[in-house]
Amino acid sequence: MIKTWKEVGLGLLNLLLVVGAVVAVQPVLQKYLGSAGAAVLAALCLGVYIAASKWIERRSPTELAVHRAPLELAAGTLLGLALFSSVMAILWLAGAYHPAGWGSYRQLPRGLLLAVLAGILEEILFRGLLFRLCSKLLGTWGALLFTAALFGAAHAANHGATLSSSLAIALEAGILLGAAYAATGRLWVPIGLHVGWNFTEGSLFGMTLSGNTMAAGLIRGSLNGPRILTGGRVWTGSLHRCGHSVSGCRGLFHPSHRQTEPRGASGMAPSTAGCRACGSSRLNYESPAFPASSNDVVIPRFEVPVNVLG
């Protein structure tokens, strides 16, 4: 038990280093590079996490095994795109989504860049650190439920948020992304899922994210129907998002996906986002022409939470 608590303590030092490094350099990147600094910030976050894992936690970060990255990133991204596209298809069949032709493609590269930053940073914080450390104390299922609840609670201060919206976000993103990490023992699939979902929702369909109206996406359209379908002002397709996530988790935890041995260096047991209310820190990338999509916390400026414990 002492060894476990020591590992958790060293992991928390890793968490503090990642958050500290991001907070320290973000103003400089924003000042001199603007939204282009997102790529530098993502690389910095990865670098600090890997270095702290090796030099502080004294382990090899197998959750970032490079040889598995291309396939799992691609699979996760395509799955995120497919899941959200199927949500929109269901809403269209239900008469709640009304396509209105093509929009603009000019902001797609920027939208992808910012989605990648959100995916990398938030998956490292929530899954690579919080989930992994919690699993040492609570087991895999306990860590899944705890971090999913934390993920949903972090959205409670969003404009237009309700108890039901926070619960749905916990089920949709917290459970699905946590399950993807637990099933693979690596971060690549959840990062890809995060990026694919955000990019599809904000850049392709131009939908409202976390209570904020996005710039025109590649496809123009509108939502009009029952709140349980449209999600109101908080997010798109509440009922169907939860349904897809639960179905996805059932597949990820199918016996054929389970590992019977401890994950060893990745820290998996065998068995947040910031908000105005709590005053947590955020990363602000100004983007007047295109507020970037993020499945986590988004306001008219692109914001990535850096104090998930706040």
Q: Which two tokens stand for residue 36?
A: 């282009």
Per-residue pLDDT of the chain (310 residues; tens, 9 = 90+): 889 999 999 999 999 999 999 999 999 998 888 778 888 999 999 999 999 999 999 999 999 999 999 999 999 999 999 999 999 999 999 888 888 889 888 888 888 888 899 899 989 999 999 999 999 999 999 999 999 998 888 777 766 677 877 788 888 889 999 999 999 999 999 999 999 998 998 889 988 665 555 566 888 888 887 777 766 555 454 444 444 444 444 444 444 444 433 344 444 443 333 333 333 333 333 333 333 343 433 333 333 333 333 3
Virtual torsion, Cα 289, 170, 69, 206, nearest 10 deg = -20
Instruction: Output the pLDDT for position 269.
Output: 42
Per domain, the residue ranges of the chain are 2-305
Instruction: Output the pLDDT for position 231.
Output: 63
Please write the tens of the pLDDT for every residue from 88-119: 999 999 888 888 889 888 888 888 888 899 89
* Consecutive H or E run containing 223: strand 219-223
Q: Are the C-beta atoms of 271 and 141 separated by less than 8 Å?
A: yes
* DSSP 8-state secondary structure symbol assigned to residue 285: E
Instruction: Output the pLDDT for position 156.
Output: 75
Instruction: Output the pLDDT for position 238.
Output: 47
Under DSSP, is residue 14 helix (H, G, I), strand (E, B) or coil?
helix
Q: Which residues pair with 192 in a beta bridge?
A: none
Q: Is 200 exposed, middle or buried (0-12, 13-18, 19+ CB in 10 A)?
A: buried
pTM of the model: 0.76
Q: Which residues pair with 282 in a beta bridge?
A: 305
Please write the tens of the pLDDT for every residue from 211-263: 555 566 888 888 887 777 766 555 454 444 444 444 444 444 444 444 433 34
Rounded Cα distance between 269 and 259, Å, is: 10
Can you list the pairs that 255-258 forms with residues at least 24 positions away whose Cβ atoms lie under 8 Å? 257/183, 258/183
